[in-house]
């Protein structure tokens, strides 16, 4: 196929690609160039939260493109779609997070948070967790607790330290007056869907506050109803200084954001950060439309319902396929099925693709399911039927 041949010839080969060229999508389905239909249980890697080609997004894009797609002098001028989005975000952001800046991606949002935490605190060190993932720019990779994303790129940014996830003793021991910030995912997505208990998050927040260190919560993967609530940390009594966002924020349009508290905002000065496309009219118009859709359609409630149905099935599978499945876990529509070994997970992943179902594989043994948040009961059941048949087939081998 021409697309595959051309990409293989000219694109830098960073990924071992599937031999599938996707031409279009609608809702939870996508079609390849040959017209074959697939069910997408990855939502484009946790991004297309309101489905592919959602008319809400198309309309926002077209309406805004007809007006303006980049302001004169970039961020030096005001922008109605940006103001609208800022106001809406003000009504959904947790806790004391009041001020927002838009980035182009999750990694960039984390970069900026780390950079500003150092500046505002006057300290140098960042604590992160083993198995975390914060992005692929050099400082986000430096904050990422997985060797494969780090070790080939030495020297990384200095003064990053790592502690095991969910280990308060290790964190307490690592804290000192050089620590500018701790960066933490409330649920580690790329790390295999590892969940931190509320008590851990509360204690991390307390330890950071006691030590005069800031807390950067990375909700790039968990934000915008992925785990049910608008943010995974909603309702928790924790002191968050930075919240970083991307992925679901605009349903597939590339934009990220970070929010900061009043205290951080006071320590930031003119010129400390910026970016040519940051907060551009297209991204902010789409993000506004997506967040409105999430709110107006009570997607949070829908996620709880669908998640409940999926976990009823997965709990049964855990018993029925106990020889293959080690664990099922997750929250909302960020779900992991952990298999005994990498060979089983790889075979099941490939088997699903054969049957027209995209799932995701992470940490070698974990099949991750993160479909669009507006997936229907029927579409969910269709995906689970395929997945179970493939698992059952593997067991019978
Ligand atoms: C928790 C988390 N942080 C940051 C990132 C990086 O985001 P981006 O790929 O938009 O740079 C990701 C991407 O998977 C992520 O899951």
Q: For residue 393, what pLDDT band results from cuts at 50, 70 and 90?
A: very high
Identify the pLDDT of residue 1: 80
**Given the DSSP bridges, would you call strands 194-195 and 187-188 parallel, antiparallel or unpaired?**
antiparallel
pTM of the model: 0.98
120 is a domain residue: yes
Whose CA is closest to atom 3 on ligand 1? Answer: 134
Ligand 1 atom at shortest distance from the alpha carbon of 247 = 10
- Which of 43, 48, 109, 134 is the pocket-test mutation for ligand 1 (most atoms within 8 Å of CB)? 134
The 10s digit of each residue's pLDDT in 201-258 is 999 999 999 999 999 999 999 999 999 999 999 999 999 999 999 999 999 999 999 9
251 is a domain residue: yes
Give the Å distance between the CA of 190 and the centre of ligand 1.
9
Tell me which residues are annotated as active site.
Answer: 133, 218, 247
Is the beta carbon of 220 within 6 A of some atom in ligand 1?
yes
Overall average pLDDT of the 137-158 stretch? 95
Is the beta carbon of 107 within 6 A of some atom in ligand 1?
yes
Give the Å distance between the CA of 372 and the centre of ligand 1.
17
Is the beta carbon of 134 within 6 A of some atom in ligand 1?
yes
Euclidean distance between the first and final Cα of the chain, in Å?
33
Domain CATH for 184? 3.40.640.10
Q: Which domain holds residue 278?
A: 56-296
Is the beta carbon of 221 within 6 A of some atom in ligand 1?
yes
Nearby residues of 41 by Cβ (< 8 Å), 6 or more positions away: 28, 357, 358, 359, 360, 369, 370, 371, 383, 387
Whose CA is closest to atom 8 on ligand 1? Answer: 106
Give the Å distance between the CA of 46 and the centre of ligand 1.
10
283 is a domain residue: yes
225 is a domain residue: yes
Is the beta carbon of 219 within 6 A of some atom in ligand 1?
no
Identify the pLDDT of residue 11: 96
Q: How many CB atoms lie within 10 A of CB 200?
A: 17
266 is a domain residue: yes
Is the beta carbon of 135 within 6 A of some atom in ligand 1?
yes
Identify the pLDDT of residue 19: 96
Q: How many domains does the chain have?
A: 1
Give the Å distance between the CA of 137 and the centre of ligand 1.
10
14 is a domain residue: no
Give the Å distance between the CA of 346 and the centre of ligand 1.
23
6 is a domain residue: no
Q: For residue 397, what pLDDT band results from cuts at 50, 70 and 90?
A: confident
396 is a domain residue: no
Is the beta carbon of 105 within 6 A of some atom in ligand 1?
yes
């Amino acid at each position: 196929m021409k697309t595959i041949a051309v990409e293989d010839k000219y694109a830098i080969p960073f990924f071992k690609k599937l031999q599938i060229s996707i031409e279009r999508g609608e809702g939870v389905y996508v079609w390849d160039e040959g017209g074959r239909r697939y069910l997408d249980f990855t939502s484009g890697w946790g991004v297309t939260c309101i489905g592919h080609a959602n008319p809400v997004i198309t309309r926002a894009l077209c309406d805004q493109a007809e007006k303006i797609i980049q302001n004169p002098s970039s961020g030096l001028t005001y922008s109605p779609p940006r103001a609208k989005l800022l106001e809406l975000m003000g009504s959904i952001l947790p806790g004391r997070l009041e001020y927002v800046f838009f980035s182009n991606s999750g990694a960039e949002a984390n970069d900026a948070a780390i950079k500003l935490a150092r500046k505002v605190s006057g300290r140098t060190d960042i604590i992160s967790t083993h198995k975390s993932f914060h992005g692929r720019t050099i400082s986000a990779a430096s904050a990422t607790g997985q060797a494969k994303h780090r070790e080939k790129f030495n020297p990384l940014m200095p003064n990053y330290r790592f502690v095991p996830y969910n280990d308060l003793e290790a964190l307490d021991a690592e804290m000192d007056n050089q620590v500018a910030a701790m960066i933490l995912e409330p649920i580690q997505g790329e790390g295999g869907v590892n969940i931190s208990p509320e008590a851990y998050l509360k204690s991390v927040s307390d330890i950071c506050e006691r030590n005069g260190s800031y807390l950067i919560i990375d909700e790039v993967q968990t934000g915008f109803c992925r785990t049910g609530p608008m943010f995974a940390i909603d309702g928790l009594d924790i002191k968050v200084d930075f919240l970083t966002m991307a992925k679901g924020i605009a349903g597939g349009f590339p934009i990220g954001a970070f929010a900061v508290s009043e205290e951080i905002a006071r320590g930031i000065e003119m010129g400390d950060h910026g970016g040519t496309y940051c907060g551009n009219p297209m991204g902010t118009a789409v993000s506004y439309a997506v967040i409105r859709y999430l709110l107006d359609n009570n997607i949070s409630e829908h996620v709880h319902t669908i998640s409940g149905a999926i976990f009823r099935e997965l709990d049964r599978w855990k018993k029925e396929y106990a020889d293959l499945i080690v664990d099922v876990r997750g929250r909302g529509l960020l779900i992991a099925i952990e298999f005994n070994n990498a060979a089983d997970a790889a075979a099941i992943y490939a088997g699903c693709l054969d049957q027209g179902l995209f799932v995701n594989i992470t940490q070698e043994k974990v099949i991750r399911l993160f479909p669009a948040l507006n997936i229907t009961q029927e579409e969910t059941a269709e995906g689970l039927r395929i997945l179970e048949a493939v698992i059952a087939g593997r067991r019978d081998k």
